[in-house]
Structure 1
């Protein structure tokens, strides 16, 4: 749900709101690019574990290939365009479905409503653990100043 107030939130409140959204929301927009710079934008199920965002997609589709090795950059965004959460990060790990920690896979499946460990239509899936490096959060123009809540992988608030 979007912020309903026109009051400018403190940076601390924006961080609390973001963390609550990461727990509550089911899907996140994922922007990636291949080695030639061809962009791809898709919505994926995700899990926030308090440290990283876990994504899962088929290894053979464009996003799976784009995120297929550690160090690859990724940009993420939660859905509402007037309550922006723009997250940047890097793929820390690409984890096969038979190697993902059981607690992580179980939590992902419970939140997403589907389980990548069980092949869908014969396609192989992988998990991508993304560590955030930059976070911007703002609600419309009044919150543009001070929108950077994380820089260089360190929370500023």
Structure 2
């Protein structure tokens, strides 16, 4: 027997659980001429934004820096959270040491130690959608314009 649709408040709690405990997500970006690019990256969530890091000259780094927009995917195909967000680009040495240390501890990866030039990308969610099955599609929007739409 299938589980009944989750109330929106439960979906928000589940989304926050994922943000606080998952380590990896999918990052979708596009080039200026519309070529899509999708890669997995590790992240840290500070309660307001997601922190990512990738080489500044990689397709994802170039796309995020140019467009200042990203779509992120957490979870599995039958329990997904999609996040549309605004991107802030930070030089690798511009981030406070404590934030970089937290990222490294959470992800097991410290881009500050690499020879390849990396950047930080801080993604502030503008819209968050979460659903498991078709019966949750109607109420999947949990955040709009950067504000939670459910307590």
TM-score range (shorter-chain normalised) is over 0.9
> Which blocks of at least 5 consecutive residues in structure 1 are unaligned?
none
Give distance in 1, aligned partners of 2:136 and 2:75: 17
Give the one of 90, 97, 103 matched to 1:95: 90
Of Structure 1 and Structure 2, which has the larger fraction of its residues in helix? 2
Give distance in 1, aligned partners of 2:127 and 2:147: 8
1:65 aligns with 2:62: yes
1:116 aligns with 2:111: yes
Question: How far 1:84 sits from its partner (Å)?
Answer: 1.2
1:150 aligns with 2:143: yes
Question: How far 1:79 sits from its partner (Å)?
Answer: 3.3
Q: Is the 8 A contact 1:135 1:148 kept in 2?
A: yes
TM-score (norm 1): 0.91
Give distance in 2, aligned partners of 1:111 and 1:139: 26
Partner SS, residue 128 of structure 2? strand
Per-residue CA shift, 1:91-128, capped at 9, x if unaligned? 0x211111111121111101110101111xx2110000
Give the one of 124, 127, 145 matched to 2:120: 127
Match in the other structure for 2:101: 106
Give distance in 2, aligned partners of 1:131 and 1:37: 22
> Which blocks of at least 5 consecutive residues in structure 2 are unaligned?
none
Match in the other structure for 2:134: 141
TM-score (norm 2): 0.94
Partner SS, residue 135 of structure 1? strand
Question: How far 1:73 sits from its partner (Å)?
Answer: 1.4
Partner SS, residue 114 of structure 1? coil
Question: How far 1:8 sits from its partner (Å)?
Answer: 1.4
Output the aligned Cα RMSD. Answer: 1.4
1:76 aligns with 2:72: yes
Give distance in 2, aligned partners of 1:14 and 1:129: 24
Give distance in 2, aligned partners of 1:138 and 1:66: 27
Large movers: runs of 4+ above 2 Å: none
Aligned length: 150
